[in-house]
Structure 1
Amino acid sequence: MQQHDSHSAAAATFHQILAREDWQNQTITHLNRLPAHPTFASWRDTDAARKNQPSAFRRRLDGQWQFSWARSPFDVDARWLEDDLPDSRSTPVPSNWQMEGYDAPIYTNVRYPIDTTPPRVPEENPTGCYSLTFSVDESWRTDGQTQIIFDGVNSAFHLWCNGEWVGYSQDSRLPAAFDLSPYLQPGDNRICVMVMRWSAGTWLEDQDMWRMSGIFRSVWLLNKPTLHLCDVQLTPQLDALYRDAELLVNLSVAAPVALLEALTVKIELWDDDRLVASHQQLPGSPIIDERGSYAERAAIRLPVERPALWSAETPNCYRAVVSLCRGDETIEAEAWDIGFRRVEIKNGLLLLNGKPLLIRGVNRHEHHHQRGQVVTEEDMVQDILLMKQNNFNAVRCSHYPNTPRWYELCNRYGLYVVDEANIETHGMVPMNRLSDDPAWLPAFSARVSRMLQSNRNHPSIIIWSLGNESGGGGNHEAMYHWLKRNDPSRPVQYEGGGADSATTDIICPMYARVERDQRIPTVPKWGIKKWISLPGEQRPLILCEYAHAMGNSLGNFADYWQAFRDYPRLQGGFIWDWADQAISKT
């Protein structure tokens, strides 16, 4: 009887959650999702962090999960929260369910794959029900905070643990983390993930690509100690001579105020086995406002003499280790590869370390002909090596943030990256219908702010992009100014505002001709030679897309490159695109 009552209560809660239809509301970008942060591993000693050894406190949940498919969320049996449904079968995670025999992949460029009015999506909304049973060490259950992190789920999902609802997230291309600590139990634990193919977020994801669904990136468990680092921002800065440097570290600590006085934060900068610089101090920030002081924050400047500079040609990386300590004890350490480089625009030129860049770039989707949108580290390394062998030096993440490992590889191998927000509304009429609607500002802004908060520590990222083909509107203006305030160390680009847009530091048209103007009424495109000569125009020009390579073998390529060499402010471009999005499936 008690078990029946428990099931009835869980079923009632399940149906109440579905009745809210959170996925139909663009203002609900998440429920209970943790703030975005850089990739953490939560080492418990600095040596392991420095050497980037596998962390005992970060565990991958990839593998075989149980999966069942339904035509809509409302067709899912609530008993799934307790046990797998009769039609469930084993499926790999990560994967796209369309590549595993369920539902149909859809390829479309401009036209949306759904025919409803934003933010609504169809009631018949294919839904994947994933479940996994796992156990954790007792210390993970009783000490600190145990997070579950989904690197990518398309397009929105609800999460349950041991029958209790945990939270909700949309935005298919950025990590979503939740605190599992209150829900874990001794022995086996069961998580259930309900993934909706369509959500309000779908209206912001109208990219030219296959439309697929599922848990298509890795899933992780991360155990953070009770006292832990909850955010770390690393900003390398060079002096005016591009010779000496400092590492600006802004961090925040999760700890009761009463314990903060016993803690210190330590910053170490390593060049392989050589300690380059270090500093240790109490947490504490001079910031004071109506809340009072911020004792859990710290801003530290670490001087570095004559570091080896980072560029695509010389990707010199240092290992920055940030530790939270109590006396001689290391409570937690986090670490990242960083590079000292300075990105700026001066006299109409995009400069890296004081020298003009010539972008030999390419647009790249995350795609594999057998796995759909699931890419492995081997796939990524192969792409990078092919790019380097063929003299590419830059890649545009078209048109969304990539899997976190991609940036780490670009740091080490040496590629300049344009990191692009997961925003495209190409099929809207007019195209800026959503970007100029204040009701959509929270959804737009979350995608840009979380991209910055997740990826800002990577030296390979030299430019932020507000998205792709979404027209121009007030939401872009708000996002542009937010990025400039929160990261003045990088320029921001966006093509969609047209010739006179003030929301881009770089003129970044797509398919502008070398000589000939294209007098499109809404967004005229001048010949690129003429464009940089317009009265009052002082920005560099880098084509975000050009030389469309799908079947025409880079037409007029020599003309473009002659112009790039003849006109210093024409600083290259990104070929469309790296690889055909073919799939070996009928």
Structure 2
Amino acid sequence: MPAHPSGSPAAGPHLTYYEDFSPGHGALPPRAWVPASDAARLSLNGLWWFRLSPTATAEDTAFTRPDFDASRWDILAVPGHWVLGGHGAPAYTNVRYPFPVDPPRVPTENPTGDHRHTFALPEDWPAGGETVLRFDGVESCARIWLNGREVGVFKGSRLPAEYPVGHLLRRRGNVLAVRVHQWSSASYLEDQDMWWLPGVFRDVTLLHRPAGCVADFFVHAGWDHSTGEGTLRVDAPSGGRVTVPELGVDVAVGETVTVPAEPWSAEVPRLYEAVLTGAGERVPFRVGFRTVAVEDGVLKVNGRRILFRGVNRHEFHPEHGRALDLGTMREDLLLMKRHNVNAVRTSHYPPHPAFLDLCDELGLWVVDECDLETHGFAEDGWAGNPVDDDRWTPALLDRAARMVERDKNHPSVLVWSLGNECGTGRALTAMARWIRERDPDRPLHYEGDRTCADTDLYSRMYAPHAEVERIGRREEEPLDDPALDARRRAMPFLLCEYAHAMGNGPGGLAEYQRLFETHERLQGGFVWEWIDHGIARRTPDGRRWFAYGGDFGEELHDGNFVCDGLLFPDRTPSPGLVEYKKVVEPVRIEGDPVAGTVRVTNRHDVADLSHLRFTWSYEVDGVAAARGDLDVPPLAAGGTTELKLPLPAAADGAGEAFWQVRAVLARDTPWAPAGHEVAWGQWPAADRPGSLRTAPDPERPHRPRHAEGGVVLLGPGTFDAATGELRLLDGFALAGPRLDVWRAPTDNDLGAPWQSDPRHGLLWREAGLHRMRHRVDGVVAGDDALTVTTRVAPAAGSLGLRTVYRWTADGDRLHLAVAVTPEGRWTLPLPRLGVRLGLCGTLTRAEWFGGGPGEAYPDTRAASRVGLHTASVDALQTPYVRPQENGARADVRRVRLRREDGTGVAIEGGPPFWFTARRWTSEELDAAAHTCDLVPGDTLWVNLDHALHGIGSQSCGPGVLPRHRLEAAPASFGFTFTTLGESR
């Protein structure tokens, strides 16, 4: 096991303990996490005395004396971060270090938090044995004293450290003093893409270690898929016996036993309660039998290929930062399970150990990643990178050991990851060698070395679809070294990061998933990332908003790049998570409308379908005309069946009909109740035509006529005679409609500077699409129509869109036909193509027949299903932390916008259209930096779009796929407008 060397001076200036290369001194060897035993323990969490200094005053240690008066200090909650407790401010950088890069030195301006806590031992605290003081996480360097005596120093912020303190304890009046430096040599190893948040942010615990205690133990529990037997051996240096009552196991430590057992998997997380009994301690633990291996170039668990439907998860809470409680951890996992997520990469450090207990219990595959990233050295070509500097190797080995030893007994942990974005170097090789020797039964992961010299898996970030397909065929670009190339080509492939979930998006998920399901080598990936890291703030009038980089006055920051999750900061699922749930659903349901059949495919890795119940419904215009249960056999994983659907009774009247088949939980599970929807499929019925009425009725035409006041009257419409714009619809005031091509650029529209795809959000603004001008070339009131001819174009260029509006009316309906012809040489796609109109702001509710219930865009529409939907106008908005284009509903046939009294406006479209409504303009949305900047106006702005440009993932990944680009091309579309009375 790697030693914990004490710091030693390097050549050059003397290095303080917080600057030297060592991981610290005084700590016990790392050991397995034990959530509970019959030995006594005392939590030291709570309110501590706290003092913040602007510099690291290493000589001032008077506060460590038991008689020191700290009554004038502040109070701080532990676990916690002092910058979230009113002391200093957080800072966000992605790659760049927020201090001069001069390893291992750090600035004199080094915020340092002194902590004091006084405690007494419980009356029944045992005498004898040893007592250990445990810290589960401190950023970034901690120096510890107990009752005036120094205990030790440690670095490695997200890893535990334990110290023997029994000889220093008193029954009462114990004073624990901890000095925490924000910056230390460890900061060079912890350049993860997240907020810099110093403090004691995980638990502090006092643990009694009785004579004959279980010093450590290692559970080896494999499963043989050919025999159905589990093999168990528990190694423990202190000896003892292991019992698993359910299996009738009672053996000595170190003895191997083979018994019939059920395997553990993420889908069926079968655990057996066990006990390790030593001479002085009884430790309960849980056994999950499973074997992970790379066989024939494929990653398998229990003999079966698995497919990661994963997420990258930072620990984050909008008020508490990385100080997460157990309830929040469980909430994360319940949300994952309910959205068909089956895997977590613990980016980019080991999580709180209780999180892994929950992964064992609820069922998640885990890639456990070491607390290591040196990304900032890439700014200078990796010069001075610690992972290729032998002076840092002890610290890196220490981090590997503390991760592996703490987490080795979790069946959920399938893969060890050496770290993230560290370049390459000798220390990574040393870490890999140590881990393989300690735990040869788990494969190794690291993305930063394209040669995969130290890994068992080929891993990439944000590879575009075409490259992923080549890799799936094992036809990727070769390495220069033939031996390394052959080795890598034989490896399984995963995308450790893909589908960057920043703002509106990510797009292209469905196309990635089809590749994963087509090519055996492609074993899925992990969306970046789980949650937006927005820090909660309130306006003076109490409105909540979320801060990102730059909102705390940082001199260096990376803006809202820290908000790139599938959850909003308050843990509300984003549309991206809803889309991901649909794309990765473990049951594929596909209908054949001609044959009247449904095909069900079980895409689970392990589980059959016995845990699901299937239902069908036949819906006409969004209303179920018939429904029932569907008898689907309990297909084994990978199995497919085709079933005949019942013949529903004929529904009265015309209307569009759709079949829908749903798979729901048949019974309660630990993560969701019975009836929770796991998967669904929807398709149009072959026997029912659509019922849209957008064409004019030739038997009831109205003729346009000029009237006083410079207006043209046409049916229920009143038009401006000079501009041809609609002003009134049967007494309802309007503004427009006019052609609109602009959208408030999404984070993915704006792209990232390192991407090769065009950054369309920048090109749109450069081309002036945000400042289009409308020229009226003609307003002609003919015998049967009002025709308005315009040219829509930006200043300073020759690009334009010739637009013809043709208005007709019959009865109380007003019809608009729009024809658009591009002029000039268009080399960039359009953001959108449709019309925008302003309506009265008293219209507050929307009812529509079309896609929903949530937003959708051309490459994020898998989760949109056609039906009758209703929502308030405010609820149509998606509150992305940085405001941007949002809220479109796909495949809309008709929409009704109503006041509270039921009056309003109805719109039908042919062909189906995209509908967006908001109480501010796209320009106001574009100008806002935070949600609190958006102030509702008196006008409801409605976009009726014929087409939209896709979303993509270019905030860090690939851009919009060609088939989802909105090229400038001739287009025709139309809408019908009517008013709604109170009874309609």
Query: TM-score with structure 2 length normalisation?
Result: 0.50
- Show the counterpart of 1:212: 197
Deviation at 1:427, TM superposition (A): 0.7
CA distance in structure 1 between the aligned counterparts of 2:196 and 2:74, rounded to whole angstroms: 23
AA aligned to 2:43 is R
Where 1:203 maps in the other structure, the secondary structure is: helix
- Show the counterpart of 2:956: none
CA distance in structure 2 between the aligned counterparts of 1:299 and 1:306, rounded to whole angstroms: 19
- Show the counterpart of 1:291: none
Q: Which runs of 5+ in 2 are unaligned?
A: 1-13, 479-484, 538-551, 553-984
1:247-258 alignment to 2 at 5 Å? 247-253=232-238
CA distance in structure 2 between the aligned counterparts of 1:311 and 1:515, rounded to whole angstroms: 31
Deviation at 1:275, TM superposition (A): 5.2
2:225–2:302 CA contact under 8 A, matched in 1: no
Aligned length: 512
Deviation at 1:226, TM superposition (A): 2.0
- Which deviates further from its counterpart, 99-108 or 547-556? 547-556
CA distance in structure 1 between the aligned counterparts of 2:156 and 2:351, rounded to whole angstroms: 12
Deviation at 1:225, TM superposition (A): 0.6
Give yes or no for the alignment of 1:506 onto 2:460.
no
- Show the counterpart of 1:389: 338
1:512–1:527 CA contact under 8 A, matched in 2: no
AA aligned to 2:241 is K
CA distance in structure 2 between the aligned counterparts of 1:347 and 1:497, rounded to whole angstroms: 22
- Which deviates further from its counterpart, 74-83 or 345-354? 74-83
Residue deviations 1:371-415, cap 9 Å, x none? 111111111111111111111100000000000100000000000
Give yes or no for the alignment of 1:223 onto 2:208.
yes
- Show the counterpart of 1:488: 440
- Show the counterpart of 2:347: 398
1:242–1:353 CA contact under 8 A, matched in 2: no
CA distance in structure 1 between the aligned counterparts of 2:339 and 2:62, rounded to whole angstroms: 54
Residue deviations 1:523-542, cap 9 Å, x none? xx976555568562100101
Where 1:90 maps in the other structure, the secondary structure is: strand
CA distance in structure 2 between the aligned counterparts of 1:560 and 1:504, rounded to whole angstroms: 24
Q: 1:154 aligns with which of 125, 135, 139?
A: 139
- Show the counterpart of 2:536: 584
- Show the counterpart of 2:28: 34
Give yes or no for the alignment of 1:575 onto 2:547.
no
Q: 1:324 aligns with which of 258, 278, 284?
A: 278
1:185-584 alignment to 2 at 5 Å? 185-239=170-224, 241=226, 243-253=228-238, 265-270=240-245, 274=246, 276-280=248-252, 299-303=254-258, 305-325=259-279, 331-428=280-377, 429-431=380-382, 433-498=385-450, 500-516=451-467, 529=473, 536=486, 537-584=489-536
Where 2:132 maps in the other structure, the secondary structure is: strand
CA distance in structure 2 between the aligned counterparts of 1:576 and 1:541, rounded to whole angstroms: 17
Residue deviations 1:556-584, cap 9 Å, x none? 21221111111111110000001111001
CA distance in structure 2 between the aligned counterparts of 1:141 and 1:165, rounded to whole angstroms: 24
Which structure 1 residue ranges, 4+ long, deviate > 6 Å from structure 2? none
Deviation at 1:431, TM superposition (A): 3.1
1:108–1:209 CA contact under 8 A, matched in 2: yes
CA distance in structure 2 between the aligned counterparts of 1:239 and 1:530, rounded to whole angstroms: 29
AA aligned to 1:69 is L
Deviation at 1:544, TM superposition (A): 0.2
AA aligned to 1:301 is T
Q: 1:67 aligns with which of 29, 45, 50?
A: 50
2:467–2:476 CA contact under 8 A, matched in 1: no
Deviation at 1:85, TM superposition (A): 3.4
CA distance in structure 1 between the aligned counterparts of 2:535 and 2:36, rounded to whole angstroms: 38
AA aligned to 1:514 is H
1:397–1:417 CA contact under 8 A, matched in 2: yes
CA distance in structure 1 between the aligned counterparts of 2:293 and 2:505, rounded to whole angstroms: 33
Where 1:24 maps in the other structure, the secondary structure is: coil
- Which deviates further from its counterpart, 527-536 or 425-434? 527-536
Deviation at 1:87, TM superposition (A): 4.0
2:47–2:77 CA contact under 8 A, matched in 1: yes
CA distance in structure 1 between the aligned counterparts of 2:191 and 2:470, rounded to whole angstroms: 26
Deviation at 1:337, TM superposition (A): 1.7
1:42–1:224 CA contact under 8 A, matched in 2: no
CA distance in structure 1 between the aligned counterparts of 2:413 and 2:95, rounded to whole angstroms: 28
- Show the counterpart of 1:259: none
- Show the counterpart of 2:579: none
CA distance in structure 2 between the aligned counterparts of 1:577 and 1:385, rounded to whole angstroms: 16
1:140–1:146 CA contact under 8 A, matched in 2: no
Deviation at 1:458, TM superposition (A): 0.3
- Show the counterpart of 1:24: 19
Deviation at 1:70, TM superposition (A): 0.8
- Show the counterpart of 2:691: none
Q: Which runs of 5+ in 1 are unaligned?
A: 1-18, 45-54, 254-263, 281-297, 326-330, 518-524
Where 2:251 maps in the other structure, the secondary structure is: strand
AA aligned to 2:268 is T
Query: TM-score with structure 1 length normalisation?
Result: 0.84
Query: Greater Rg, structure 1 or structure 2?
Result: 2
AA aligned to 1:538 is A
Deviation at 1:461, TM superposition (A): 0.3
- Quick one: structure 1 residues 220 and 347, their matched pair in 2 at CA, closer, same or farther if it must change by over 3 Å? same
- Show the counterpart of 1:9: none
- Quick one: structure 1 residues 401 and 573, their matched pair in 2 at CA, closer, same or farther if it must change by over 3 Å? same
Percentage identity across paired residues of the two chains:
38
- Show the counterpart of 2:104: 119
- Show the counterpart of 1:81: 64
- Show the counterpart of 2:723: none
- Quick one: structure 1 residues 552 and 527, their matched pair in 2 at CA, closer, same or farther if it must change by over 3 Å? farther
1:344–1:489 CA contact under 8 A, matched in 2: yes
Residue deviations 1:186-221, cap 9 Å, x none? 321111010010111100000000001100011111
Residue deviations 1:404-458, cap 9 Å, x none? 1000000000001100001100010333722111111111111111110110000
Residue deviations 1:127-183, cap 9 Å, x none? 111111111147747411111111100001111011111111100001111111111
Q: 2:162 aligns with which of 156, 169, 177?
A: 177
CA distance in structure 2 between the aligned counterparts of 1:86 and 1:316, rounded to whole angstroms: 52
1:532–1:538 CA contact under 8 A, matched in 2: no
1:70–1:76 CA contact under 8 A, matched in 2: no
CA distance in structure 2 between the aligned counterparts of 1:516 and 1:43, rounded to whole angstroms: 50
- Which deviates further from its counterpart, 439-448 or 202-211? 439-448
CA distance in structure 2 between the aligned counterparts of 1:202 and 1:276, rounded to whole angstroms: 49
CA distance in structure 1 between the aligned counterparts of 2:54 and 2:137, rounded to whole angstroms: 22
1:408–1:458 CA contact under 8 A, matched in 2: yes
1:41–1:334 CA contact under 8 A, matched in 2: no
CA distance in structure 2 between the aligned counterparts of 1:145 and 1:236, rounded to whole angstroms: 31
CA distance in structure 2 between the aligned counterparts of 1:307 and 1:533, rounded to whole angstroms: 44
Deviation at 1:113, TM superposition (A): 1.3
2:139–2:182 CA contact under 8 A, matched in 1: yes
